[in-house]
Structure 1
Amino acid sequence: MVRARSLGQAAVWAGTCIAFASLALTIDNARRIRVPDRDVIAQPESLAVLLPVRNEIDNVRPCLAATLAAVERWPGPVRVIVVDDESTDGTGRALAEISATDSRVEVLTGAPTPDGWLGKPWACEQLVRHADSTGDPPEVLVFVDADVRLRPHALVATIALMRAANLDLVCPFPRQVLAGPAERLVQPLLQWSWMSTLPLGPAERSARPSLSAANGQLLAVDAATYRAAGGHAAVAGEVIEDIALLRAVKAAGGRGLVAEGSGVADCRMYDGWREIRAGYRKSLWTAFGSTGGAAAVMAVMALAYVVPPIAAVRGSRIGLIGYFCGVASRVAVARRTRGHAWPDALAHPASVLALVALTADSLVARCRGTLQWKDRSLGAPG
Structure 2
Amino acid sequence: MILLALSIAGLALALLFAGMVAANLGVLAPPQAGASQRPAISILIPARDEEANIGAALDGALAQTGVGVEVVVLDDGSTDATPRILAERAAADPRIRILNGATLPEGWIGKTHACHQLGTAARQPLLLFVDADVRLSEDAALRLAAEMETHALDLVSGFPRQITGSTAERIVIPQIFTTLLGYLPLPMARARPDPSFGAGCGQLLMVRRAAYDAAGGHAAFAGRMHDGLNLPRNVRASGGRTDLTDATPIAACRMYETFPDIWEGFLKNATEGMATPRALPVWTLLLFGGHVMPWLTLASALVAGAGGAAILSAAAVIAVLAARAAMARRLDQPWLSVALHPVGVLIVLAIQWTALSRASRGKGATWRGRSYGI
- TM-score computed with the length of structure 2 as normaliser: 0.93
Give the distance between the partners of 1:150 and 1:32, measured in 2 at CA: 23
1:26 alignment partner in structure 2: 21
Unaligned runs of 5+ in 1: 1-5, 132-136
Give the distance between the partners of 2:277 and 2:224, measured in 1 at CA: 14
State whether residues 199 and 233 of structure 2, in contact with CA within 8 Å, keep that contact through their aligned partners in structure 1. no
Q: CA deviation at 1:292?
A: 3.2
SS in 2 for 1:115: coil
Q: CA deviation at 1:197?
A: 0.9
1:311 alignment partner in structure 2: 297
2:176 alignment partner in structure 1: 190
Residue of 83, 92, 114 corresponding to 2:105:
114
1:331 alignment partner in structure 2: 325
State whether residues 99 and 107 of structure 1, in contact with CA within 8 Å, keep that contact through their aligned partners in structure 2. yes
Question: Is the counterpart of residue 227 in structure 1 residue 220 in structure 2?
Answer: no
1:134 alignment partner in structure 2: none
Mark the CA change 1:40 to 1:338 in structure 2 (over 3 Å): closer, same or farther.
farther
Give the distance between the partners of 2:81 and 2:73, measured in 1 at CA: 15
Mark the CA change 1:42 to 1:155 in structure 2 (over 3 Å): closer, same or farther.
farther
Q: CA deviation at 1:42?
A: 5.0
Give the distance between the partners of 2:98 and 2:134, measured in 1 at CA: 18
State whether residues 158 and 172 of structure 1, in contact with CA within 8 Å, keep that contact through their aligned partners in structure 2. no
Identity rate of aligned residues, in percent?
35
Q: CA deviation at 1:139?
A: 1.1
SS in 2 for 1:306: helix
Alignment of 1:248-287 (within 5 A): 248-287=234-273
Give the distance between the partners of 1:292 and 1:113, measured in 2 at CA: 32
State whether residues 28 and 245 of structure 2, in contact with CA within 8 Å, keep that contact through their aligned partners in structure 1. yes
2:341 alignment partner in structure 1: 348
Residue of 149, 168, 186 corresponding to 1:200:
186
Give the distance between the partners of 1:298 and 1:97, measured in 2 at CA: 49
CA RMSD of aligned residues (A): 1.6
State whether residues 285 and 291 of structure 1, in contact with CA within 8 Å, keep that contact through their aligned partners in structure 2. no
1:54 alignment partner in structure 2: 48
**Structure 1 consecutive aligned stretches of length 4 or more whose deviation exceeds 4 Å:** none
Q: CA deviation at 1:370?
A: 4.0
Amino acid at match of 2:261: E
Residue of 84, 91, 107 corresponding to 1:93:
84
State whether residues 275 and 356 of structure 2, in contact with CA within 8 Å, keep that contact through their aligned partners in structure 1. no
Give the distance between the partners of 2:285 and 2:272, measured in 1 at CA: 15
Residue of 25, 35, 38 corresponding to 1:44:
38
Q: CA deviation at 1:343?
A: 4.2
Give the distance between the partners of 1:255 and 1:332, measured in 2 at CA: 28
Give the distance between the partners of 1:289 and 1:205, measured in 2 at CA: 27
State whether residues 176 and 339 of structure 1, in contact with CA within 8 Å, keep that contact through their aligned partners in structure 2. yes
Q: CA deviation at 1:90?
A: 2.4
State whether residues 12 and 319 of structure 1, in contact with CA within 8 Å, keep that contact through their aligned partners in structure 2. yes
Give the distance between the partners of 2:160 and 2:36, measured in 1 at CA: 20
User: Between Structure 1 and Structure 2, how many residues are aligned?
Assistant: 365
Residue of 133, 149, 172 corresponding to 2:158:
172
Q: CA deviation at 1:101?
A: 2.0
Unaligned runs of 5+ in 2: 303-309
- TM-score computed with the length of structure 1 as normaliser: 0.91
Give the distance between the partners of 1:151 and 1:360, measured in 2 at CA: 37
Give the distance between the partners of 2:137 and 2:36, measured in 1 at CA: 16
